[in-house]
Structure 1
């Protein structure tokens, strides 16, 4: 379930950022490019969360 929510949030946030930045620059908004970047971002978060960051346990 956490993977599904990560993908949804990555897609929403990347599309929002692309839309706002393209509007500020007066450029063209590309839904496809923003979606691809969102998927790449979600894969990066999966790798970072599963392999990169370890929980520190104190005894």
Structure 2
């Protein structure tokens, strides 16, 4: 469930960002661009969460 909710929030925030940036640039909004960026951002978040372990967090 944690992974699904992470993807949903990343998807919503990325689509919002894509809409705002495309509106500011005067470019047509592309749903697929936001979708692909959200998948990439979710994968990066999962990789970073596995690299940062609890042992490193407790030391600092």
Bucket of the pairwise TM-score, normalised by the shorter protein: 0.7 to 0.9
RMSD: 1.2
Aligned to 1:21: 21
TM-score (norm 1): 0.87
TM-score (norm 2): 0.86
- Report the Cα distance in structure 1 between the residues aligned to 2:2 and 2:41, rounded to whole angstroms: 15
**Long gaps (5+) in structure 2:** none
Is the partner of 2:58 in helix, strand or coil? coil
Matched, 1:46 2:46: yes
Shift of 1:57: 3.3
Aligned pairs, how many?
A: 57
Matched, 1:5 2:5: yes
The structure where helix makes up a greater share of residues is 2
**Long gaps (5+) in structure 1:** none
